[in-house]
Structure 1
Amino acid sequence: MTFSNSFHVPPNRIDFSSVFLKFSPLNQAAVMATLILILIIYALAIIWARRQDRLDVLKWGVTPLADNFFSDNYFYVIKVITGIRPGAGTRSRVGFVIAGEDMDTGRFELPYIRIWHDNSGGGKHSGWYLSRIEVQDVQRNETFV
């Protein structure tokens, strides 16, 4: 069964010349000031967010260790993943040693995030919540967690 109707209501036309006449200059100024304020707040939020993105790129980038040598012929990439909870970071001194079948790397310290710690951070900064560490052997393209 099909139903139909021939009754059509056309939309009302808007006469913008009369619409703006109904606003007083005070109302127009308030509307414009509100729009400009929202635009300024939006622009400042974009600038702040972009700066935060740039800081994140620095934090997530690869940082070579200070005691790396150009003569080194074996390389590892170490990813340190802290847990997502308040106070997960530490200011304590932390280091690492990678041991293999034949030898170990010796003791190294990471410049920003570290792997063993001595609880010297003091107070709430002495502990650390470490989620996991991933060590990638660049030559063999193997990853160990």
Structure 2
Amino acid sequence: MSSHQVHPSSTITETVCACNHMTAFGAGFVTAPNTIDLTTVFDKFADIGNNAGVLATVLTTLALYFVGVIFLRRVDKSGMKKLIVHSLPDNRSTDRYYYKITVYTSYGRGSGTKSNVAFSLFGDKGSTGVRVFKQGPETFQAGGVDIFLMAVEESLGDLHRLQIWHDNQGGDDRAWKLDKVIVRDLQSGDTNSFLCNDWLSLDRGDGRINRILPASTEQDL
């Protein structure tokens, strides 16, 4: 008799060992993995057209994948665009006081504009005079956020109003629905919001393309 062997009383679910050694033993088992015949797997792909349910599932999954890729790519490009800061074209190299101006165009069809947009910013220490935003193919689009850097000679002090308008020369995209403008003094860190949520259009809203927006209070926000 060998040192240990399977006892006749063992069952399919329990193994009983008979040993003549006075030591402890353990037993276990390993389930053999099922073998996969790759040739039959690929053969089944050739037959997929005969199974409408499987074919529909595969095509739907692929379609959702590509739609997701396109959507995420657009979101990524939109996020990158929002990080771009445009210097105003009329900034002077001798001016050393800076403001960041963030312009929010409203959502909705036709809210964006290709007209040329200008503004004047007023504070208790002075005003900017007429300034012009840098217009490009991707600025002032519906639902867009555009950031500009404005240089002035010195601080404007406490800001109290913003006048903003356009030249109505944008063709079919001449109208503009402005949501709001946020101005941040990059030296002091002070921020002012100028709420609009209205059209600058001759044929929409009240028919005006020139708005005077007071600085918002905490109650307005």
- State the TM bucket, normalised to the shorter chain: 0.5 to 0.7
Q: How far off is 1:102 after superposition?
A: 3.5
The answer as to 2:68 corresponding to 1:46 is: yes
Task: Kindly provide the CA deviation profile for residues 48-87 of structure 1, in whole angstroms up to 9, marking residues without a partner as x.
Answer: 1111112321342242315456765322111112223321
1:89 is matched with: 112
SS in 2 for 1:64: strand
Structure 2 unaligned runs (5+)? 1-46, 141-145, 147-163, 194-221
The answer as to 2:162 corresponding to 1:139 is: no
- For residues 122 and 95 of structure 1, the distance between their equivalents in structure 2, rounded to whole angstroms, comes to 17
- Higher normalized contact order (CA 8 Å, seq sep 6+, divided by chain length): 1
AA aligned to 1:65 is S
175, 178, 185: which one aligns with 1:127: 175
Larger gyration radius, structure 1 or structure 2: 2
1:20 is matched with: none
The answer as to 2:22 corresponding to 1:34 is: no
SS in 1 for 2:86: coil
- For residues 143 and 87 of structure 1, the distance between their equivalents in structure 2, rounded to whole angstroms, comes to 29
Which protein is richer in helix relative to its size?
A: 1
SS in 2 for 1:119: coil
Which protein is richer in strand relative to its size?
A: 2
- For residues 85 and 67 of structure 2, the distance between their equivalents in structure 1, rounded to whole angstroms, comes to 29
AA aligned to 2:113 is T
1:57 is matched with: 79
AA aligned to 1:144 is N
2:34 is matched with: none
Identity of aligned residues (%): 28
82, 96, 117: which one aligns with 1:73: 96
SS in 2 for 1:56: helix
Number of equivalenced pairs: 120
CA RMSD, Structure 1 to Structure 2 (Å): 2.7
Q: How far off is 1:107 after superposition?
A: 4.1
